[in-house]
Every structure is written in structure tokens, then in C-alpha cells.
Structure 1
Amino acid sequence: MRKMSYVFFIMLVAASLMSGCAKEALPEAEANLPSAPSMTQPLEQALKLSDEELVDNYCAGIDLVLADNLLFAQAKDIPSETLYSFFCYITNSSEENIQEQWYNKTDDKYHVPIADIEAVLDRYFDGYHFDPAQLIPYFAEASPPQHDVYQPQTKEIVIGGLGGFGGERFPKLAAKEQLSDDTLKLTVDYYDDQYTEVFYTKAYTIRFTEEGYQYLSIQKVE
């Protein structure tokens, strides 16, 4: 009888120790659980902007430079020449003056690796297709015509300039709709300079990410 009591005591202590270990391990297991994604934060920051700031940051500039050339339901539908023009605009408008990294003093031209163009486009479009060979007729039809801009051997664009953009648009935000935790739809009216007549309206569907934002679609509204 005494022996059975001793065995029971040993089993009780062992169970107690195992229970204690399990309780101590619980916080560590909880700490290893993946945290909830913070995809809402970039969109929350955008929603703090005024209507005018939203339009200026995400809509007016690309409308001025690309007009109806940048209308698409899916990024795969954007022509390569439009993607290239977008690349020139977005790098030209950067406060970091990033275009200077491609300037070559030897021939007074910009040598832009195709990989660098795609790296920029990756930030703003998902599922696009950029084919630099399609730029050959685009450059040939420029004024003045430019030839041998695309260098397939070195996989780069060699050109005298990456664009100077100017002009003005007269937009006003017509509607703002949050489609999901990371996606916003901006409907923008474009007016005459007196804001008396709407010339056209565009809807911009924009997804906000930790890296910035991407245009999912840009379409005219009838």
C-alpha cells in the first residue's frame, strides 16, 4: 500500500511538472503566430489626404502626360510605348532626381537598362508586359526621328533625354470609394480652366501596398 502511494505521488509530481512546462510554453507559441497583415496602413495614410492632394498625387500628372493613351482594364493591355512614357514621367517627377544615375558624360546621353525600367514599372503596375523592341517604330516616328535608341545587345535604351513635361489640367474629385482594405477608386472630372464645363471623367482604381501604390485600372466614365 505504501509502495502504491509512493508511485502515485511520483506520477502526480510528473504530471504537475508537465503541466507547468505546457503553461510556460504557451506564450512562446502565441508569439510565433503570424501577425495580421498591415496592408491597411498605406491606404489609411492616403485617405488622410485632401481631395485636391489625392487628385494631384495620383491622377492629374499622368493624365497630362499620357492622356487617353493610358486607359486600361488590365495592365497587360498597356502598350509598351505608353509604359515607357510613364517611366520617363514618373522618374522625371521624382524629387530624388533618379534619372541622373543613367546619364553618361562621354556621349551626353542616357543609358537606361531595360531591367531598371521594369523595376520602376513593377512598382506601379501588376501583370504588365513591356517589350522594348516595340519602341523602335515609336522612336522612328518621333519628331525629330530617332534611330538605334533600343540596344538589344546591351539591353538598354540610349537616348538624349528622358522627357521634359509641362502643362496644366483642371481636375476635381467627383467621388472617392474604398473598395477593400487596400484598394481605392477615385473618380475625377476634368474641366475647362474656368471650372464651368466637364470635358471628360476618369475612374482610377488604385491598390496601396507597403512599397507604394499600383494602378489596377484607369477608364473613362461615360
Structure 2
Amino acid sequence: MRKVSYIFFIMLVTAGLLSGCARKDSPDPEANLTSAPAMTQSLKQALKLSDAELVEKYCSGIDLVLADNLLFAQAKDIPAETLYIFFCYITGSPEGSENIQEKWYNKTDDKYHVPVADIEEVLNRYFDGVVFDPTEIEEVNNETGAYLHYDTKTKEFIASGLGGFGGGRFPKLAAKEQLSDDTLKLTVDYYDPEYKNVFYTKAYTIRFTEEGYQYLSIKMVV
């Protein structure tokens, strides 16, 4: 098993230290739509969002949490470590909503017990053809109190926490293209805090389903 990366420790242990991000809305949410085949209902709903809302909902959060670790052409190639962090992030509770992670909390040992089956269910909701191998994630147990262990008998992860994410990104939608009746491509520029210089650009290909949406690919644009 390979050792867990430095970013893995940081994201599981530390809460974000950065402040929120500013965004600039485009007046017309359809302004950057470069093609327009027939649409499924879920895609129609997504396109009712403003440019800033699209980026916030589907792009900037995972960029903040996973940065260049979540770049892929096929979901089967995403590393288990990245998938686990994505699971922790996506199951986190937005402000004012129900904390779904509480169902995995065990008062007896003050830890979260998360079945691999539950992780796979969530991952399959957001990726097509994902492969999650829990044995690729090495145990964490350090002086900061961070703890992560995969129990091969019960087939569950035991963790001291499932959160600790925060901070800000400064994105702006560069283009949106409808690729089919259920698929949208969002090209996003990530700026400095003053929105003067573009640090990098990513393209997100997203398929909209009856259950929600799936990331088909996330690529760096050069």
C-alpha cells in the first residue's frame, strides 16, 4: 500500500484558514451557452442558474478541496485517496441543512464508522465507472488526533472526522457548452483575489441524471 499523501493529512485534520471568495455574476445565465440541442429536465434546471451559481455548485468547491488531485478523463483512473476525500467533502452539510454524516457517528468511541458500501454508493452517484479500493488508503494515527483505519473484517472506515474543509476560490465561468441532451461542459478560469490574473483554467464535463449529476471528466485547459 502506498503512503497517504501530505494533502490527505492536511484536508482531514485542518479546517480551512482562508476566507470566502468573491464572484461576478453574468447578467444572463444563458450568455455563454455555445450550443443548444434538446435538453433533459435536470439540465434545464441547471441552466436556470446564473454563471456564478453554476460554478459554485459544480466546480469551485471540489477545486478547493482536491485541486489538481481530481483531474481525470475516465473515473476508473481516480485514485482511492482522492475518492475518499471527495466522499468526505460531498457528504458534508451545507449551512442550514441536515448533517447526513451523523448517521455514521458512534458515541461509544467518538468516531465515525463508514461502511465501504456507503462510500461506493455516493461515489457511483457522482462518477461513472468509478473503482474504489479501500486497501489503497493507509492508516492515519498521529499526535494531532487524526485517525483513519480501514477494518477489513467489518469493511468499514473508522475515522476521527469527516470534515475540516474551508477556504475560498476566485473563479469565473469562461464558457458553457451543451454537448448533448443531458451533458454540459463548463470551462472555468481561476483568478487571483482581485480577478486580474488567471492562474489556471479547468474544463468540467457533467452529465445530468434523474438522481442528480455525474462528473464525466475534469481536465486542465492549457
**Shorter-chain TM-score above 0.5:** yes
Moved over 4 A (4+): 142-148
Unaligned runs of 5+ in 1: 1-37
Instruction: Please give the residue correspondences for 1:1-12 in structure 2 after superposition, counting only pairs within 5 Å.
Output: none
Partner of 2:62: 62
3-state SS, counterpart of residue 163 of structure 1: coil
Distance (whole Å) between structure 2 residues aligned to residue 56 and residue 143 of structure 1: 35
Instruction: Please give the residue correspondences for 1:19-58 in structure 2 after superposition, counting only pairs within 5 Å.
Output: 40-58=40-58
Partner of 2:99: 97
Instruction: Please give the residue correspondences for 1:13-162 in structure 2 after superposition, counting only pairs within 5 Å.
Output: 40-94=40-94, 95-136=97-138, 139=140, 144=144, 149-162=149-162
Partner of 1:172: 172
Partner of 1:20: none
Distance (whole Å) between structure 2 residues aligned to residue 67 and residue 143 of structure 1: 26
1:158: Cα distance to partner? Answer: 0.4
Task: Give the count of matched residue pairs.
Answer: 183
Distance (whole Å) between structure 2 residues aligned to residue 52 and residue 157 of structure 1: 35
1:93: Cα distance to partner? Answer: 3.6
Distance (whole Å) between structure 2 residues aligned to residue 45 and residue 125 of structure 1: 20
| Contact 1:136–1:147 under 8 Å retained in 2 | no
3-state SS, counterpart of residue 149 of structure 1: strand
3-state SS, counterpart of residue 108 of structure 2: coil
Q: TM-score, normalised by structure 1?
A: 0.78
Q: TM-score, normalised by structure 2?
A: 0.78
Say whether residues 1:207 and 2:207 are aligned partners. Answer: yes
3-state SS, counterpart of residue 132 of structure 2: coil
3-state SS, counterpart of residue 185 of structure 1: strand
In structure 2, do the counterparts of structure 1 residues 156 and 210 end up closer, same or farther at CA, with 3 Å as the change threshold? Answer: same
Letter matched to residue 185 of structure 1:
K
Unaligned runs of 5+ in 2: 1-37
Q: Which has the higher helix share?
A: 1
Identity %: 74
Q: Deviations over 1:177-220 (max 9, x none)?
A: 00000000000000000000000000000000000000000000
Distance (whole Å) between structure 1 residues aligned to residue 127 and residue 133 of structure 2: 15
1:164: Cα distance to partner? Answer: 1.4
Q: Deviations over 1:159-180 (max 9, x none)?
A: 1101211110000000000000
Distance (whole Å) between structure 2 residues aligned to residue 92 and residue 192 of structure 1: 26
1:106: Cα distance to partner? Answer: 0.4
3-state SS, counterpart of residue 71 of structure 1: coil
3-state SS, counterpart of residue 98 of structure 2: coil
Higher relative contact order (CA 8 A, sep 6+): 2
Q: Deviations over 1:135-175 (max 9, x none)?
A: 116x36x7858676000100000011012111100000000
Partner of 1:219: 219
In structure 2, do the counterparts of structure 1 residues 192 and 108 end up closer, same or farther at CA, with 3 Å as the change threshold? Answer: same
